[in-house]
Amino acid sequence: MSEPLVHARNLQVRFRSREATVQAVNGVDFDLRQGETLCILGESGSGKSVTLRAMMRLNPPRITEVSGTLRVGGHDIVGMPETAMSALRGALVAMIFQEPMTALDPVFTVGDQIAETVRRHDGVSAREARLRALALLELVQVPSAARRLDAYPHELSGGLRQRTMIAMALSCRPRLLLADEPTTALDATVQIQVLLLLKQLQQELGMGLIFVTHDLGVASEVADRIAVMYAGRFVEEAGVSDFLAQPMHPYAQGLLGATVHASSRGQPLTTIPGAPPRLDRLPTGCAFAARCRHAQPDCLVAMPPLLPIGTDRSVRCIHLPHPVPA
C-alpha cells in the first residue's frame, strides 16, 4: 500500500516562554489518504488550528517546539530546512484561513495577490499569472470575475473574500488543503455555498482535505472521518456516519448533545459542565475527567491510550461503553 498523503505519529507542539510551557498538541496520531476528508472537532483552544499550522510550519518559530513524526507527501515537515519548507507552502500544502479579511493584504488587489502566488511557485509571466488568477476566480464561482480581479479586499463581501482565499489556496494545485474554520464568519446561506464548493473542488482536483470546525453540522456535510480533539489530544476518531449515529467518548457525546436542532425548540440547552484544563498545567490522568459524568478514581491516575474499537474507530477512554445520553 502506498504511503498516505499525511502521516502523523506522536505529533507534539509546545510553546515555551519565560512564564510557562503551553502543551498545545500532545501526541496526535493520524493518516490521511489522497482524496480523503478528515474533520477535526473540538472547543476553542483544543489544539485544532495549531495542528494545521504545524503542517505548514506557521506557528511562531522562536517559541515553538515540534517533535514526533509528521510527513506530508513523503516530506519530513518537522526536520525540513525553512528554505525547502517555503517552496512546499502553496505547492504541496495550502491553507484557507479562518478570517479572510486579516489573511488578505488590504493594499493589493485580489487579482495581484493570487497572481503573485502563481508566479512565486510556477515561474510564469505576469500576463499568464493574471489569466490563471481569472480562471481561479471563475473556478470558485465569483460573479463578474474579470471585474473582481481589480477589486481590493474591502470592496468584497465576506463570502467573496472567502472564495478569493479558496482561489489563492488552489492556485498551485496543492495535494493537501487545510481549512481552518473557513465558514465561521459567514451567514448560513453563504456557509452552505462555500461548503458545497469545497466539496466539489476537492472531488474534481483529488485533494486531501483537513477541515477544522466546532460545528457538527459542517462536519457532517464535508467529512469522511471525524477526529474529536480535547486538550491537544484526539479522544475519538471514527467514520462520519458511525460517529453521528453513536459517539462513544463522553466528550464527543457532549458535543453532539449540545447541537441545536429544530426539534430542540422549547427545550433547555444541553451543556458540558466545567471548562477545559489549562494547557500549561495538564492533569496526570484523563484531561476530561473533571467534566465527565462517568469519571472514576482510576481516570485520574494516567492518561488513557487511544484504543481501537472495531475496525474503523478509536476512543481514548478506559470505561467503555458509555450509553448515549437521552
Residues 258/239/73/67 CA torsion (nearest 10 deg) = 50
**24-47 residue pLDDT tens:** 999 999 999 999 999 999 988 899
Question: For the domain bounded by 6-92+174-260+269-315, which CATH number is listed?
Answer: 3.40.50.300
Q: Which of 184-193, 224-233, 297-306 has the lowest mean pLDDT?
A: 184-193
**CA 194 from centre of chain:** 15
What is the average pLDDT across 10-35?
94
pLDDT of residue 325: 65
Cell 517555503, located at residue: 86
| Model confidence band, residue 322 (pLDDT cutoffs 50, 70, 90) | confident
Is the pLDDT at 48 greater than 60? The verdict is: yes
End-to-end CA distance of the chain: 42
Please, which pLDDT band fits residue 261 given cuts at 50, 70 and 90? low
- Per-residue pLDDT tens over the stretch 95-148: 988 777 778 899 999 999 999 989 988 888 999 999 999 999 998 888 999 999
Distance separating alpha carbons of residues 94 and 74, to the nearest angstrom? 16
If you count DSSP H runs as helices and E runs as strands, how many of each does the chain have, helices first? Answer: 11, 12
Instruction: Give mean pLDDT, residues 79-108.
Output: 88
Domain positions in the chain: 6-92+174-260+269-315
The pLDDT assigned to 120 comes to 85
